[in-house]
Each structure stands twice: as structure tokens, then as C-alpha cells.
Amino acid sequence: MENMRTCPVCQAAVEPDQHECSRCGFKLVGRTEELVALGVEEVMPEALEEVCGRARLTVTKGPLEGESFYLETMPVTVGRDPKCDLFLNNMTVSRRHAIIERNGQKIMVKDNNSLNGTWVDGQVVEEAELKEGSLLQIGTFNMRFSCS
């Protein structure tokens, strides 16, 4: 147990001989460093709170089921590229799959010419508003949007 590492993406325990996280699939190649998340009070703009409270996506089906991702600052890039704000490491997700952004009093998701499309409430969309309870599907990730 003393040689155990943690995945820098999902914080799951990783055996020393593993080259991929068994929980999220992150490839542990080369030197990986632990990510330190900023506290919400450090990055949450008041204007976004006025629109939506604490906007978040909770994975309801697929890899990372049960995990929540807070949309702390806008825009939020979504994709398989580790540089994306919301990193979804699965081959069904395009490298730069979609973007979530604020448009006035609305939170919008826009597909970024992804291969498998972006789905909101069972419909493929180029752009759609995310409302309380909306179901967003990106690749094999089904995520419920909430503003609580």
C-alpha cells in the first residue's frame, strides 16, 4: 500500500504497475502530478450564481457514474482533450466535443462539430438551453444538469 498512487483526474487509488486508471481511464504515461482544485469561493463569479446558483452536471449513466462536475466559470469546454475544462476520457467523446456557456440569463450547450453529436433531453442538438433537470448526453456520458 505504501507505493499506491492516486489518479490526478478522479483521485482513485492506482496500483504502481497500472498504466491507466481503472475508474476513469486516464492514461498514466510519463510523470503525472496531482491536480489541486481551487475552492468554489475562489473562482465562482457572482453573476453566474444570480443566473443559476451552483450549476453542475451529475453523471447518471456511463463512466464516472455518480460524479458531479461544477460549472464554476463560463465558458466550459467539454471533451476528451485533457486541456478541456470538463475532461471526459472516453473514445465516444470528441477531443473538443462541446462548449457550455452563459448567454444572458440562459446556460447554453453548443456542439463543436463532434463525431457522435451532443444530445439534450433525447434530441441531437447543435445548440440548446440547459434547464433544471435537462439530460445532457455526450458520448457514453449521460449527465443531469441542475442549478441548486
> What confidence tens digit (pLDDT) does each residue in 93-141 have?
999 999 999 998 899 999 999 999 999 999 999 999 999 999 999 999 9
The predicted model scores a pTM of 0.67
Q: Where are the alpha helices (DSSP H) in the chain?
A: 40-43, 46-52
User: What are φ and ψ of residue 10, in 5° steps?
Assistant: -110, 0
Phi, psi of 95 (to 5 degrees): -55, -45
Angular region, 36: left φ>0, alpha ψ -120 to 50, beta rest: beta
The mean of the pLDDT values for the chain is 83
Q: What is the mean pLDDT of residues 42-55?
A: 57
The model's confidence at residue 30, banded by pLDDT at 50, 70 and 90, is low
Compute the distance between CA of residue 7 and CA of residue 15 in angstroms, rounded to an integer: 10
Query: What average pLDDT score do residues 51-74 get?
Result: 88
pLDDT for residue 29: 65
pLDDT at site 25: 72
147 contacts: CB under 8 Å, gap ≥ 6: 52, 53, 54, 55, 107, 132
Residue 38 has pLDDT above 80, yes or no: no
At 26 the pLDDT is 72
Examine the pLDDT at 20 and tell me if it is beyond 80. Answer: no
Q: Is residue 1 over pLDDT 70?
A: no
Instruction: Give the model's pLDDT for residue 31.
Output: 55
Cell digits of residue 97: 466535443
Q: How far is CA 145 from CA 14, 48, 68, 102, 121, in A?
A: 30, 15, 10, 14, 11
